[in-house]
Amino acid sequence: MHQSPDIPLQPRLFNAQAQVCAECSVRRFALFGTLDEQALDRIHVHIADIRLQPGQALYNAEEAGSAAYTVRSGVVRLERSNERGERRILRLAGRSDALGMEAMLGQRYAADAIACTEVQVCRLPRTLLEDLCRERPELSLDMMKRWQRTLDDADEWLTELCAGAARHRMLRLLLKLSEFADGQAIWLPSRQDMSAMLDMTIETASRLVSALKREGVLSTPDQRHGLLNMDALMKALREDAAER
């Protein structure tokens, strides 16, 4: 008996970028996670896939905000420098995090966004986001939630990593870095970056890292990667909390 060919339940995407978006492992966490495949196929021409090498800037502070970004892989640092040239790292962003949301208000970017590792991001033009929000009001609520998440991350960074004893700040930083790990190894900032993150001198950062390596909390297979003994790290955090 003749059988009719199978009919796919969902439309097939023929554009390469739309297919990438549909199959992206972070799509359900990203700004366009609620869009169906037909919508992705329609907007694909506006989305750019950007890859950065360590040290490259995604955007710079005071540039006109023309787009927001979703991090697909890697770690990005948000930093500012004052008029004396002193650098301060405000927070880190990783997989599925949104960057440059201030562009949605037509504002200039508030900080430099610099790749710490190899980074892949999707660029979402402001005009596209504005059009989609008009068509799909639920996206506005989603963006508000993501903006609140960004504020919460900044508050956590300020309270956990920029206050208290130096050892406590270093332990909390290692715990935070474990959230960005891709596999067993974590990205390990340079001592200069640790100084700019934790509001301590480079010498203090170096001394603390050396102490934690002796204690078995951290090992460093190379300059830019670390391996954490999570049991030892959590024990050190508990002991630190008990002494405070």
What confidence score (pLDDT) does residue 13 get? 43
Q: What is the DSSP string of 50-78?
A: EEE-TT-EEE-TTSB--EEEEEEES-EEE
What confidence score (pLDDT) does residue 26 get? 52
In a domain, 9, yes or no: no
Q: What is the pLDDT along the chain (244 residues), one digit of tens a residue?
A: 444 444 344 444 445 555 555 555 554 545 555 555 666 666 665 678 899 999 999 999 999 999 999 899 999 999 998 888 888 999 999 998 889 988 888 899 999 999 999 999 988 888 887 887 787 777 777 778 877 888 888 888 888 888 889 999 999 999 999 999 877 899 999 999 999 999 999 999 999 999 999 999 999 999 899 999 999 999 999 988 877 6
What confidence score (pLDDT) does residue 41 get? 61
- The reply to whether 26 and 132 lie within a common domain is yes
In a domain, 188, yes or no: yes
- The reply to whether 146 and 177 lie within a common domain is no
In a domain, 2, yes or no: no
Considering only CA atoms, which of 145, 171, 151 is closest in space to residue 235? 171
> What is the CATH classification number for the domain harbouring 207?
1.10.10.10
> Last residue of some domain: 106, 134, 160?
160
Number of domains in the chain: 2
- The reply to whether 22 and 79 lie within a common domain is yes
- The reply to whether 171 and 153 lie within a common domain is no
Note the Cα 4 to chain centre separation in Å. 48
What confidence score (pLDDT) does residue 47 get? 76
What confidence score (pLDDT) does residue 205 get? 97
If you count DSSP H runs as helices and E runs as strands, how many of each does the chain have, helices first?
8, 11
What confidence score (pLDDT) does residue 12 get? 47
CB burial of residue 236 (10 Å; 0-12, 13-18, 19+): buried
What confidence score (pLDDT) does residue 134 get? 81
What confidence score (pLDDT) does residue 137 get? 77
Q: At what angle do helices 191-198 and 202-214 cross, to 10 degrees?
A: 110
Q: Which domain holds residue 196?
A: 164-243
The angle at the Cα of 21, spanning 18 to 26, to the nearest 5 degrees, equals: 175
- The reply to whether 134 and 25 lie within a common domain is yes
DSSP category for residue 107: P
